[in-house]
C-alpha cells in the first residue's frame, strides 16, 4: 500500500518530465504505431498467400497479436526500466544509490521510469483486439470478459518476469541488454500459433521462456478448435510462478552484486 502511494508520487514526477520532451513523446508513439503496423502487415502479406496457418485464420492470428500487444503494453508502461538496468545503473555504479534507500531496490528501479510510448502500444493492442473480436464468432459472457482481462494481465506478468530474469544477469555480466533484447525478439514469434514450430521450440516457449503464455495460450482459451483450451487456463498460474522465479533470481543477483561490488 505504501509502495502504491509512493509509485503515485514517482509517476507524477515522471509525467512532469515527459511534458518537457513532447517531441520525443510524439516520435516514440509514432514509431510504436509503425512497428505494430509493420508486423500486422507482415501477417497480412503472408495471409494473402494462404487461407490459414495450421488451422488459424487471419483474424484469429490477429486476436493472438492483440493479446500480445496489450499484455506487452503493461510491461512497457510500468516496467520498462528493467531493460537497461545494466548500462543505466550497474555499469557505472549508479545502482548503489538504490541500495542506500529505505525502499525495495527493485521497486525503485521500476518506479524510476514511465515509458510513454507504452500508451501507444496499449491503444494499438486494444484496436487489434476489437478488430479481431468483431470478425470472430466468440460468444461473450461476463465470465469470458473477466477471463480475457485476467489473461491479458497474466500475459503482461509473463513479459515482466522474463525480462526481469534476464535483466538480472546484468549483476554478473555488467550489461545483459543483448540477451534481454535477443530473448525479447523471440517473443515476436511466440505470437504465431505455436503448433507451427517443432516440438523442441514449442517446449522452449512453454517451459523455458514461457512466452507462449503471453499470447498463443491465452488466446487459445477463446478459440474452440485450438485444442489448447485447458492448457490456456494455466496461464495465470504460469504468470505467478514465473514472477516468483524471476524475483528469486533477482534476489540472488542482488546478493552477488553486494558481494563483488561491480
Partner 1 sequence: MIRAYYEIAKSQVKLDFAYGAWFWSSMVSSILQMLVLFYFWRAVYANGPSELHGYKLDDMITYMVVASMIGGYTNGAGGKLAEDIRGGLVAIELMRPYDQLSKLVALDLGGKFGYFLRNTVPILVLAFLFFHINLPPSWGAAAMFPLSTALGVLIGAQFDLLVGIMAFYTVNIWGLRVLRDAVLLFFTGQLVPVMLFPEWLQSVNRFLPFQSMVYVPVSIYTGALRGAEAWVQVGIQAAWLLGVFLLVRWTWSRAMRKVTIFGG
Partner 2 sequence: MIDVQNLSKQYQIAKRDPGLAGAVKSLFSRKYETKQAVQDISFQIQKGEMVGYIGANGAGKSTTIKMLSGILTPSSGVVRVNGIVPYENRRRNASQIGAVFGQRTQLFWDIPIRESYHLLKHIYQVPETEFQQRLEMFTDVLDLGPLLGIPVRQMSLGQKMRAELAAAFLHNPAVVFLDEPTIGLDVAVKDRIRAFIREMNRQQETTVILTTHDMQDIEEICNRIIIIDGGKILYDGALQAIKERFGDKRTIHFDLEKNDGFTIPYALATRVEQVVSHREAAGKSNSISLSFNNAEITAAEVISEMMQAYTIRDLTIDEVHIEQIVKDIYERGL
92 contacts ligand ATP (rule: CB under 6 A): no
Q: Does the footprint of partner 2 cover residue 261 (CB under 8 A)?
A: yes
Question: What residue spans of 48-169 are helical by DSSP H?
Answer: 58-79, 96-99, 105-111, 117-135, 142-168
Distance, C-alpha 120 to centroid of its chain:
14
Site string for partner 1, 191-220 (x = CB under 8 A): -x---xxx--x-------------------
**Which of positions 84-103 make contact with partner 2 (CB under 8 A)?**
92-94, 96-97, 99-103
- C-alpha distances in angstroms, 118 versus 26, 127, 159, 174? 12, 14, 13, 26
Can residue 258 be called a binding residue for ligand ATP (CB under 6 A)?
Answer: no
Taking the C-alpha atoms of residue 56 and residue 61, their distance in angstroms, rounded to an integer, is 6
- Cα 61 from chain centroid (whole Å): 18
Q: C-beta of 181: minimal distance to partner 2 in Å?
A: 20
Does the protein bind ligand ATP through residue 143 (CB under 6 A)? no
Which residues, 6+ apart, have CB-to-CB distance to 86 below 8 Å?
A: 167, 170, 173, 174, 175, 176, 177
Using the rule CB under 6 A, is 261 a contact of ligand ATP? Answer: yes
Closest contact distance (angstroms) between CB of 22 and partner 2 is 14
Q: Does 178 bind partner 2 (CB under 8 A)?
A: no
Binding site for partner 2 (CB under 8 A): 5-6, 9-10, 13-14, 16-17, 20, 92-94, 96-97, 99-104, 112, 255, 258-262
Amino acid at each position: 500500500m505504501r509502495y502504491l502511494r509512493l509509485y503515485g508520487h514517482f509517476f507524477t514526477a515522471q509525467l512532469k518530465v515527459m511534458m518537457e520532451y513532447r517531441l520525443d513523446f510524439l516520435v516514440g508513439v509514432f514509431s510504436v504505431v509503425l512497428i505494430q503496423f509493420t508486423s500486422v502487415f507482415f501477417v497480412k502479406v503472408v495471409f494473402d498467400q494462404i487461407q490459414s496457418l495450421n488451422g488459424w485464420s487471419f483474424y484469429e492470428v490477429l486476436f493472438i497479436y492483440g493479446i500480445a500487444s496489450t499484455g506487452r503494453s503493461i510491461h512497457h508502461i510500468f516496467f520498462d526500466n528493467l531493460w537497461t538496468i545494466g548500462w543505466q545503473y550497474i555499469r557505472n555504479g549508479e545502482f548503489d544509490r538504490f541500495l542506500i534507500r529505505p525502499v525495495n531496490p527493485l521497486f525503485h528501479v521500476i518506479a524510476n521510469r514511465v515509458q510513454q510510448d507504452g500508451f501507444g502500444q496499449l491503444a494499438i493492442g486494444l484496436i487489434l483486439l476489437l478488430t479481431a473480436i468483431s470478425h470472430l464468432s466468440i460468444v461473450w459472457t461476463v465470465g469470458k470478459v473477466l477471463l480475457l482481462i485476467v489473461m491479458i494481465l497474466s500475459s503482461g506478468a509473463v513479459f515482466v518476469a522474463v525480462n526481469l530474469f534476464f535483466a538480472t544477469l546484468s549483476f554478473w555480466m555488467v550489461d545483459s541488454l543483448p540477451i534481454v533484447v535477443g530473448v525479447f525478439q523471440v517473443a515476436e514469434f511466440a505470437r504465431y500459433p505455436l503448433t507451427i514450430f517443432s516440438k523442441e521450440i514449442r517446449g522452449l516457449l512453454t517451459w523455458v521462456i514461457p512466452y507462449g503464455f503471453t499470447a498463443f495460450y491465452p488466446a487459445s482459451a477463446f478459440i474452440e478448435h485450438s485444442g489448447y483450451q485447458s492448457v490456456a487456463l494455466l496461464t495465470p498460474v504460469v504468470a505467478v510462478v514465473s514472477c516468483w522465479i524471476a524475483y528469486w533470481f533477482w534476489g540472488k543477483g542482488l546478493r552477488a552484486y553486494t558481494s563483488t561490488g561491480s
